Amino acid sequence: MRKELLVALAVVFAGCTVPSFGGSDHPETPAGEDAIGYENGYWYDDSVSVTTDDGLNETEREAVVARTMARVEQVRGLEFKETVPVSVISRAEYQNRSGGSSGGSAGPENPWNDQVWEALLIIGEDSGSSESIDDTLSTTVQGYYSPSNDEIVIVSPTETPQIDRRTLSHELVHALQDQHFGLNGSAKTQDTQLSRQGVTEGEANYVRVLYERRCGDGWGCIALPDRTSDGESSDGGDTSQESSYNEGLFTVLYQPYVTGPRFVDQIRSDGGWDAVDALHDDFPDSTEQVLHPEKYPDEKPVNVSVADRSSSDWSRFDHDPVGDTVGETSIYAMMYHNGQTEGDRYSYESEVSAGWGGDLVVPYRNGSGGYGYVWETRWDTEEDAREFERAYRAALTEEHDAVQPRNNIYVVPDESQFNDAFRVVRSGKTVRIVNGPKSGDLDDIHRVEE
């Protein structure tokens, strides 16, 4: 499912160009087959007669959906192949469906993925990654498009079922993508998943904001719902539940919505919508390319492998792939979340994370319920590697009160959610972090080369 998180429009579209639109120049109804900008009896610049204060009845909803489809077509220059069903549910119903924090059960345990997020010092041992992701999405998702069901579900921002035109237009772009390019592909790593979303979510937000700018320049648009009745602010931010989800995790999940539109805008500026179409067959290889469009498509990530030097007591998970690549975005979020970079959280620009070349996190476990990992990172220069090494060591000592019993070894106290032992070693452009329950486990998880 393609899920839209709470997004502030001014943030996601900063720096993007805006195309010019001509005035109305179309017949009352298209001749022959459907036309771009016309859907189910409505042109993109037609008016609709609806009352939003008491929600939208079925007839009003059909009219709003049809005109919004026509407008998405007009902005994007692609024709919907079929009508997209749209339903509206409450926040409580969404949380119940998704198994979120409000009444639903926590997601299944996933110790392999838990180690990946622990390496990032974002999700600790006191809450599993599945539970944290469920909690974050249940609080922040505004709507989603389901490729398997070919339908859109809008999460109403108020107790009275309402449709936010911004969410609807965003999700309709996903339906359009699915009809033309398909949205069922999968990514093997955290970084490639985010980089693919930089295209899909980036394009959806890009079109959505172009749509919104026309609402202030020639189009009559239905009013935005008043979110204040359930704790959400009118600009798309959350006020009442701000601390109920993991902000570091949200920073990772939010990245495609913020930097994706800028990436898509750059691609479109260089090659038009045809070049954006081509992205769906040639996704970026990393979030580094989304954050730095000039690196797409030529600067590929370094292929990082981690030799298995574990003792017989420790083993890798039976998992394909054996490890996960977290990428520049997740490293940026880690450093911001752990106080090692300042400024705008959603700029995704930091000297500590820039210069990323590649990485691999390989989780381990033993027969006694213990877990650990080896995380190897590669950097463009030795100075980039030094900056990351210094920042990671500082995060351990300054944010998590780690003590350093001997060279390169850190132990985080039991009261911390990251109460483990760490070995941090740099060699040239490579930084390797080994984690285990106790300092005596580190050599058993990854023996030091003689």
352 in the same domain as 262: no
Looking at the domain assignment, is residue 415 inside a domain?
Answer: yes
Domain's final residue, options 240, 274, 289: 289
Looking at the domain assignment, is residue 309 inside a domain?
Answer: no
253 in the same domain as 362: no
pLDDT higher than 50, residue 14: no
pLDDT higher than 80, residue 31: no
Looking at the domain assignment, is residue 353 inside a domain?
Answer: yes
pLDDT higher than 50, residue 202: yes
332 in the same domain as 273: no
Looking at the domain assignment, is residue 301 inside a domain?
Answer: no
Domain's final residue, options 272, 289, 306: 289
82 in the same domain as 36: yes
Peptide bond into 297 cis (omega under 30): yes
- AA identity, residue 280: H
322 in the same domain as 276: no
318 in the same domain as 276: no
Name the residue range of residue 106's domain: 2-289
357 in the same domain as 232: no
238 in the same domain as 348: no
Q: Is 27 exposed, middle or buried (0-12, 13-18, 19+ CB in 10 A)?
A: exposed
Cα–Cα distance between 110 and 163 in angstroms, integer?
A: 35
Looking at the domain assignment, is residue 305 inside a domain?
Answer: no
Least confident of 26-30, 190-194, 328-332: 26-30
208 in the same domain as 142: yes
Looking at the domain assignment, is residue 263 inside a domain?
Answer: yes
Looking at the domain assignment, is residue 295 inside a domain?
Answer: no
Average pLDDT, the chain: 89
120-131 confidence digits (pLDDT tens): 999 999 889 999
Q: Is 423 exposed, middle or buried (0-12, 13-18, 19+ CB in 10 A)?
A: buried
Q: Provide the domain count of the chain.
A: 2
Contacts of residue 129, defined as CB under 8 A and 6 or more positions apart, other chains included, come to 110, 113, 114, 116, 117, 123
Domain's final residue, options 227, 255, 289: 289
Cite the beta strand spans of 70-150 per DSSP E: 86-89, 141-146
pLDDT of residue 242: 44
